[in-house]
Amino acid sequence: MTDTLLELSGLTKAYPGVVANSDVSFSIKKGEVHALLGENGAGKSTLVKTIYGLVKPDTGTMTLEGASFQPSEPRAARASGIAMVFQHFSLFDALNVAENIALGMENPPKMGDLARRIREVSETYGLPLDPDRVVGDLSAGERQRVEIIRCLLQDPKLLIMDEPTSVLTPQEVEILFETLRKLRAEGTSILYISHKLEEIRALCEHATILRLGKVVGTCDPRETSARDMAEMMVGATLHVPEKADKAQEGDVVLAISGLSAPAPHQFGTALKDISVEVRAGEVLGIGGVAGNGQDELVAALSGEMKTKPGMISFKGNSVGHLPPNARRKAGIAAAPEERNGHAAAPDMSLVENAVLTGAVRMELTDDRGFVRWAKAKDFAEQVIETFDVRTPGSHVAARALSGGNLQKFVIGREIMQRPEVLIINQPTWGVDAAAAASIRQAILDEAAEGAAVIVISQDLDELMEISDRFAALNEGRLSAPRPAKGLTIKEIGLMLGGAHDMEVAHVDA
Amino acid sequence: MDLSAINPILLLASLMVAATPIMLAAIGELVVERAGVLNLGVEGMMITGAACGMIFAYNTGNAWLGFAGAAAGGMALSFLFAILTQYFLSNQVATGLALTLFGLGLSALLGQNYAEARPPAFPKMDIPILSDIPVLGPIAFNHDPMVYVGLILVAGVWAFLKFSRAGLVLRAVGENHEAAHALGYHVIRIRILAILFGGACAGLGGAYISLVRVPQWTEGMTAGAGWIALAIVVFAGWKPVRLLLGAYLFGGVTVLQLNLQAAGLAIPVEYLSMSPYIATILVLVILSAGRAPGSLGKTFHASR
């Protein structure tokens, strides 16, 4: 079990203006779980795309089991035994499970046989899946199972997993790991990409760390602390957000009682009887796997979705019928999840984006409806300065910013308006560790200044770090909030609805 | 008014003929849209097909060669659309509209000398035994071959999309082109092939009007049939079987209103003329529950 499966040497890939990979060399042994670590933009995606045949390297070679390996396209890579589970699932919503799986296979059997094999493999690995269901109706965890089973049906030698756990509950993660350990025992190598260092410590034997396209170190994650690995990734000491000491609990600012709303679109989730109160100065963390009503809850609170009277009240007044700008005026600000396209208009400049939500509270328009551009520019630049947004200037289009920087901008834009209620969905999704730390700090500071903050996130570590109380959203229902202090991961997992009918793999290793 | 002058058997038989041009154009557009491309140039490709069909049929004296020429003409025009939208990433809606205007002008130019021309006869097929069945025989089994070509195409597309691997890949490309690309499918190549198929079908539909239905060449003779074909694709929820229903419904009401006009029904002619459009859209809206392909009309570029 010590021979090398895949060896990369001197891989370099440059795009106009940026070197994504520079002289990257490492090797993956047979039956090894190898972690690939790095911040966003460190070149992990480019590297795995090279292995999968989606990107051609400028220079450098790869050897697979001693033979030269230069896949010209993903089919060639798959034929050589490379399989990949994508971070943003490469699934087709309108097609059913079997069709989705057939699309990822070179020579799929007849649909009937395929359905039978899907059932077999899914039961062997404890990932139950009905081949006839339409993928658009599946939960995120189930969608991932589709991807994994698609890979497993091809008996891969190397399984590449790009951020596989970001959408799973802790119990689902445990089951996934069990499956991966079985695979390892069967001799399959796994290249595992994740931000979550504790997971890597639990699963991987070897880690390669990338920074700015270069290999900056390797380690054995079982013997290296998460903090050390994080600092290798960032290349600097990491700042941990601090909670300020709380004064007395404030008054109830936002009260949600019996909030129910139908699903806004075909693949949406209905909200069912949600009741919770948020007090001034506290952070309420709402956990849950994506697609359980997070977007709908944010829409109901921000005013994108109207609700019946009495369901949402702000300082005792019902606000469910108010549109977003009226709520902003009253003091409710929201930062939705999708930065490009929802929280910000990608092709508009930062100044224009600042006007889009800041117009009312910051008085960026005059009485006749004209925009006060000078004032708007000042506001945008204040946000950029206060939140350390790295950009050449406020005139730059939102899409030109990296994910972390744009996220700092959209969250900063809401915080700078000094709302009394702030709702943030996925504050640090796809944001690197340093930027994530500063965003979390800003959220804590905002609460310390007396705002009521609701943070919705899939990252449980994050929620534990910043929330005062924690509640779980599952299939549109919200659990009763509990003080975050002292909650264990197991208790949280149960609050999240457990493992969604998954069972532990029962392959004999 | 004399409704007894309307012969129901003749009415149903001419329904199949009236529906054929729209059915041909619509089934082609359905494939194009299932691959994720919105080609609004159907009308332009149809009229070009009508002109090319007349030119080829008149000069060769063979209606079949006329249809082949029409398919080639429609395909050539759609190739222009394919190059512009798939390689130069132009906007599909604007390019499609331009294609319609271009096709109308081009066909007028091509057809200039053919206004007086009569196309060669395209004989009906007298299918033995079947056409002797009373009532059903004259309605369904006594038509020219293109009526059956149209039906076979619809059935073929239905089976292709439902059962074949290539059909699955085509649907995947239309549903989510990013994911299809990530899995290693050639999005652009598949879309170009679909666009060409759509162009050929639209050309056939146009030629059916100029060679069989009318049969002569007049400028602008498709008179919006291409737009109806587009509407039928959408209202049929991108499903071949419903598309067939929609086309027959449109053909049926068209023939019926012509008969009613002839019978002297006391309703203004304008209302009767608009009735096929209204009836088709109404019925298909009521039936509709179709979901558009996820990537329909979106420009694909591998780097995004």
Contact B294 A92 (CB under 8 A): yes
B163: distance to nearest CA of chain A, Å?
Answer: 9
Query: Hey, is the C-beta of A103 within 8 angstroms of any chain B C-beta?
Result: yes
- Contact list in A for residue B294 (CB cut-off 8 A) is 92-94
Backbone angles phi, psi at B291, to 5 degrees: -115, 130
Q: How far is CA A51 from CA A20, A27, A73, A77, in A?
A: 14, 12, 10, 7
Contact pairs from chain A to chain B, CB under 8 Å = 50
DSSP state of B210: I
Q: Which residues face A61 on adjacent strands?
A: A9
CA A288 to chain CA centroid, nearest Å: 12
Question: Strands A477-478 and A482-483: what pairing?
Answer: unpaired
Question: What type of residue is A25?
Answer: S
Q: Of A7, A171, A103, which Cα lies nearest the Cα of A502?
A: A171
Query: Hey, is the C-beta of A104 within 8 angstroms of any chain B C-beta?
Result: yes
Asked whether residue B36 carries a pLDDT value surpassing 70, the answer given is yes
CATH number of the domain at B67, please.
1.10.3470
Helix (H) or strand (E) holding B156: helix B145-163
Helix (H) or strand (E) holding A96: none
In Å, the largest CA–CA distance within chain B is 66
Helix (H) or strand (E) holding A384: helix A373-386
Average pLDDT (B249-260) is 87
- Contact list in B for residue A95 (CB cut-off 8 A) is 168, 171-172, 175
pLDDT tens-digit map of B277-289: 888 778 777 776 6
Give the C-alpha separation, A51 to A71, whole Å. 8
Q: Give chain B's radius of gyration (CA, Å).
A: 19
Pair A394, A384: CB distance under 8 Å:
yes
- Contact list in B for residue A89 (CB cut-off 8 A) is 179
Contact A95 B172 (CB under 8 A): yes
Contact B169 A103 (CB under 8 A): yes
Pair A403, A354: CB distance under 8 Å:
no
Predicted complex ipTM: 0.80
Determine the residue among B173, B177, B183 to mutate to test chain A binding: the one whose Cβ has the most chain A Cβ atoms within 10 Å: B183
Fold classification of A4-234 is Rossmann fold (3.40.50)
Alpha-helical (H) ranges within A449-488 are 460-466
Pair A336, A343: CB distance under 8 Å:
yes
Query: Hey, is the C-beta of B187 within 8 angstroms of any chain A C-beta?
Result: no
Q: What is the pLDDT of residue A73?
A: 85
Classify residue B270 as exposed, middle or buried by CB count within 10 Å of its CB (0-12, 13-18, 19+): exposed
Give the C-alpha separation, A507 to B13, whole Å. 64
Q: What is the pLDDT of residue A283?
A: 93
Q: Which residues face A33 on adjacent strands?
A: A190
B227: distance to nearest CA of chain A, Å?
Answer: 26
A92: distance to nearest CA of chain B, Å?
Answer: 6
Contacts of A243 (CB under 8 A, 6+ apart): A444, A466
B97: distance to nearest CA of chain A, Å?
Answer: 26
Q: What is the pLDDT of residue B170?
A: 96
**Long-range contacts (CB closer than 8 Å, 24 or more residues apart) made by A351-358:** A351/A376, A351/A377, A351/A380, A351/A394, A351/A395, A352/A376, A353/A380, A353/A398, A353/A409, A353/A410, A353/A413, A354/A379, A354/A380, A354/A383, A354/A394, A354/A413, A357/A328, A357/A333, A357/A413, A357/A414, A357/A417, A358/A413, A358/A416, A358/A417
Domain range annotation of chain A: 4-234, 252-495
Pair A50, A107: CB distance under 8 Å:
no
Give the C-alpha separation, A210 to A216, whole Å. 6
Contact B183 A103 (CB under 8 A): yes
Q: Of B166, B161, B160, B182, which Cα lies nearest the Cα of B300?
A: B182
- Angle at which helix B269-287 crosses helix B225-235, to 10 degrees, equals 30
Helix (H) or strand (E) holding A300: helix A294-302
Give the C-alpha separation, A319 to A336, whole Å. 19
CA dihedral B55, B56, B58, B64 (to 10 degrees): -140
Q: Which residue has the tokens 């709402």?
A: A286
Query: Hey, is the C-beta of A86 within 8 angstroms of any chain B C-beta?
Result: yes
If one counts the domains in chain B, the total is 1
Would residue B125 count as lying in a domain? no
A76: distance to nearest CA of chain B, Å?
Answer: 9
Would residue B159 count as lying in a domain? yes
Contact B179 A90 (CB under 8 A): yes
A349: distance to nearest CA of chain B, Å?
Answer: 20
Q: What is the pLDDT of residue B93?
A: 94
> Can you read off the two tokens belonging to residue B10?
């003749």
- Angle at which helix B42-60 crosses helix B92-110, to 10 degrees, equals 30
Q: What is the pLDDT of residue A499?
A: 45
Give the C-alpha separation, A288 to A458, whole Å. 6
Question: Strands A271-279 and A283-287: what pairing?
Answer: unpaired
CA dihedral A187, A193, A195, A200 (to 10 degrees): 10
Chain A's closest residue to B170, CA to CA, is A103
The domain of B159 spans 3-111+140-287
Query: Hey, is the C-beta of A247 within 8 angstroms of any chain B C-beta?
Result: no
Backbone angles phi, psi at A303, to 5 degrees: 105, 0
Query: Hey, is the C-beta of B19 within 8 angstroms of any chain A C-beta?
Result: no
Contacts of A72 (CB under 8 A, 6+ apart): A53, A56
Would residue B292 count as lying in a domain? no
Which of A104, A108, A266 lies closest to B183 in CB terms?
A: A104
Query: Hey, is the C-beta of B304 within 8 angstroms of any chain A C-beta?
Result: no
- The CATH class of A252-495 is alpha beta
- pLDDT < 70: residue spans in chain A: 1-2, 17, 41, 87-89, 166-167, 238-239, 244-248, 430, 498-509
Give the C-alpha separation, A282 to B94, whole Å. 52
Give the C-alpha separation, B25 to B32, whole Å. 11
Q: What is the pLDDT of residue A508?
A: 43
- Contact list in B for residue A74 (CB cut-off 8 A) is 182-184
> Can you read off the two tokens belonging to residue A270?
């209905």
Determine the residue among A15, A90, A160 to mutate to test chain B binding: the one whose Cβ has the most chain B Cβ atoms within 10 Å: A90
Contact A90 B182 (CB under 8 A): yes
> Can you read off the two tokens belonging to residue A356?
């889009």
Backbone angles phi, psi at A219, to 5 degrees: -160, 170
- The mean predicted confidence, pLDDT, of chain B is 90
Which of A75, A86, A102 lies closest to B182 in CB terms?
A: A86
Chain A's closest residue to B34, CA to CA, is A94
Chain B's closest residue to A76, CA to CA, is B184
Determine the residue among B163, B169, B175, B187 to mutate to test chain A binding: the one whose Cβ has the most chain A Cβ atoms within 10 Å: B175
Question: Residues of A134-147 as b/e, b for ≥16 C-beta within 10 angstroms?
Answer: ebbebbbbbbbbbb
Q: Of A466, A465, A441, A437, which Cα lies nearest the Cα of A454?
A: A466
Contact B294 A53 (CB under 8 A): no
The reply to whether A252-495 shares the fold of A4-234 is: yes
Q: Of A147, A169, A171, A173, which Cα lies nearest the Cα of A160?
A: A147
Average pLDDT (B275-303) is 79
Q: Of A178, A137, A145, which Cα lies nearest the Cα of A164?
A: A145
Give the C-alpha separation, A351 to A357, whole Å. 11
> Can you read off the two tokens belonging to residue A335?
């930062």
pLDDT tens-digit map of B69-95: 999 999 999 999 999 999 999 999 999
Give the C-alpha separation, A108 to A113, whole Å. 9
Give the C-alpha separation, A5 to B52, whole Å. 60
Q: How far is CA A375 from CA A334, A367, A383, A396, in A?
A: 22, 14, 13, 17
